[in-house]
Amino acid sequence: MPHPLPPGPRPPAPGPRPLSRPLIEVRGLRFCYEDGTRALNGVDFRLERGETVALLGANGSGKTTFVLHLNGLLAGQGSVEICGLPVNRQNIPEIRRKIGLVFQDSESQLFMPTVLEDVAFGPLNSGMSREHAVERALAALETVGMSAAAARAPYHLSAGEKKRVAIAGILAMDPEILVLDEPTTSLDPPGQGALAELLVRLPQPKILATHDVPFARALCDRAVFFQGGVIAAEGPVEDIVIRFGWELALERSKLRR
């Protein structure tokens, strides 16, 4: 059964790429974990204004390691610039306000006693008064359709609701860029559809690290394909999916059923 997803984004206007500074510019990023696993082997990446980009690739190809570099949670060799700011110790507070990172496991992102306190966690950390932080949190909950859950404990919510609250926690910080790591994991098809509709409504440029090809098709202007810690190819989602045989794999899995 196909996902109840909204229609895909409009194709980008023909012509040369914009000359303005990219929102994210990564050059030659390399990272090796303490156990010796080489996760990134020289990644070059750009995110332009208004773009939504899918990071595709197999498990262990480096997608999550890459997104953790975007707000300084991991620090490898090479350069990462967010809105013109290099990711370094001095700029990290500012960069974490600009990049809203939604983790794969919403359970790990929701740690406060109530939904409202969890969503207000980021604004309070950025120095807002309690009243202003609560106002922001309530507005973010309204955006994701979770206002009714404000006083509930996060661990009582369904997987889809947790994901929405996790996104609200990021939106409350008013980020310039949204980065979502495996956003559709553990969501049922209606939940995936609702999430896609929500993301289409949000005006920020987005990076979606995902295995979900229909989801990427519905939301993304282009895709980059990670393989062995490098970007093996980039282009329209459809081309990338066909080039790396993911379309074939999807069809095979449908036939087996």
Binding site for another protein (CB under 8 A): 68, 71, 73, 93, 96-97, 99, 101, 103, 105, 107-109, 111-113, 117, 120-122, 124-126, 130, 169-170, 173
CB atoms within 10 A of CB 16: 5
CB atoms within 10 A of CB 193: 20
CB atoms within 10 A of CB 185: 15
Q: Chain-centre distance of CA 18, in angstroms?
A: 23
Shortest spacing between CB 126 and another protein, in angstroms = 5
d(CA 221, CA 204): 13
100 close to 119: Cβ distance less than 8 angstroms? no
* Contact partners, residue 139, CB within 8 Å, separation at least 6: 172
Nearest to 237 by CA among 18, 16, 53, 43: 53
Q: Which one, 20 or 108, has the nearer CB to another protein?
A: 108
Is 239 in a helix, a strand, or coil?
Answer: helix
Shortest spacing between CB 214 and another protein, in angstroms = 27
Report which residue type is found at 170.
I
Shortest spacing between CB 161 and another protein, in angstroms = 17
Q: Which one, 57 or 123, has the nearer CB to another protein?
A: 123
Q: Which one, 73 or 138, has the nearer CB to another protein?
A: 73
Q: Which one, 146 or 172, has the nearer CB to another protein?
A: 172
Shortest spacing between CB 121 and another protein, in angstroms = 6
Shortest spacing between CB 251 and another protein, in angstroms = 32
Shortest spacing between CB 250 and another protein, in angstroms = 29
Helix residue spans in the chain (DSSP H): 63-70, 92-98, 106-109, 115-125, 130-143, 159-171, 189-201, 213-219, 237-243, 246-256
Shortest spacing between CB 67 and another protein, in angstroms = 10
